[in-house]
Amino acid sequence: MRKFFCFLLFAAAITLFLMGYNTWIQTEKVVVSSSALPEGFDGYRVLLVSDLHARSFGAENKWLLRTVQTAQPDLIALCGDLLDEKEQIGMVMELVGALTAIAPCCYVTGNHEWAAGCVNELSAALTAVGVTVLDDDYALLERANDAIVLAGFCDPNGHTSREARRKLVEEIRQVQEEPYILLLNHRNEPPEVFADLGVQTVLSGHGHGGVIRLPFVGGLLDTDRTLFPKYTSGLYRAGETSLVVSRGLGGTRILCRPHLPLLILRTEK
């Protein structure tokens, strides 16, 4: 009986540890330097919020909002998969309304918004509260008399294509001379994809940190069930391109802490 009781205590401790670990938000500072970044944006802070999947962190998301506030972002990038079902729009919008009070927000679709069939409704709601929705589109960010391009690719579950992506970048280059492009793209594609387009910095999610993270190994599974995926968490480079991948906040995960990368842009001199 004593051994059985000890086993139950051990099992309960492991369960509580796993539950706590999977709700303990990690803010990770990621410094990205580029000679193409205008000096006016040196030190600019972008918080990457991805793969929420309608998860809550405390009553009215107080833990998440407190963490975001502490990060002091200049911009909050919402990189898709905010929800799984259309009925979750109201809850998500309560959170987004609070986020817009902290910093300007921008958004690109993830595969789950398209699967839920609520892209148009969610995008309209986000636009109504001042979020910049980037659906194969771009906007200019201005700071200290300098400007960079903020762009976003629609998720492949929607209407986008490789050709549409390339045309968008070509359009940006026709309008802006030697632009610095900060790109939101939900899926954690290889950085070489974006280096080929000439994009300097990319923010992504989608991979849930490899779903199961093993010590000294990293992610075990991609969301498409590929073993040992390469781009699941942190900073990756290809030439002059930097890819920052968030492990996300919600969704299926084991030994994978919720992740809020804080991108700090630096001018390389």
Q: Express as a percent the part of the chain with pLDDT over 70.
A: 91
Least confident residue range of 54-58, 191-195, 211-215: 211-215
Angle between helices 62-71 and 89-100 (to 10 degrees): 30
Q: Is the pLDDT of residue 29 over 70?
A: yes
Q: Which residue, 249, 206, 204, is CA-closest to 57?
A: 249
Query: Do 76 and 105 form a contact (C-beta atoms < 8 A)?
Result: yes
pLDDT reported for residue 211: 87
- Token pair of 129 as six digits: 């509260």
Q: Which residue, 106, 71, 263, 84, is CA-closest to 184?
A: 106
pLDDT reported for residue 1: 59
Q: Which residue, 166, 156, 177, 235, is CA-closest to 201?
A: 235
Residue 117 CA, distance from chain mean position:
21
Q: What is the pLDDT of residues 140-164, one digit of tens each?
A: 999 999 999 999 999 999 887 888 8
pLDDT reported for residue 252: 81
pLDDT reported for residue 3: 57
Residue 21's pLDDT band (boundaries 50, 70, 90)?
A: low
Q: Say if pTM beats, i.e. exceeds, 0.85.
A: yes
Rounded Cα gap, residues 129 and 135, in angstroms: 17
Find the mean pLDDT for residues 30-38. 96
Query: Do 153 and 184 form a contact (C-beta atoms < 8 A)?
Result: yes
- Token pair of 227 as six digits: 């073993």
Q: What is the pLDDT of residues 242-254, one digit of tens each?
A: 999 999 999 888 8
Burial pattern 237-258, b for ≥16 Cβ within 10 A else e, equals eeeebbbbbbbbbbbebbbbbb
pLDDT reported for residue 53: 97
Q: Express as a percent the part of the chain with pLDDT over 90.
A: 76
Residue 25's pLDDT band (boundaries 50, 70, 90)?
A: very high
pLDDT reported for residue 2: 61
pLDDT reported for residue 11: 39
Q: Is the pLDDT of residue 17 over 70?
A: no
More confident residue, 35 or 223: 35
Give the 3-state secondary structure of residue 227: strand
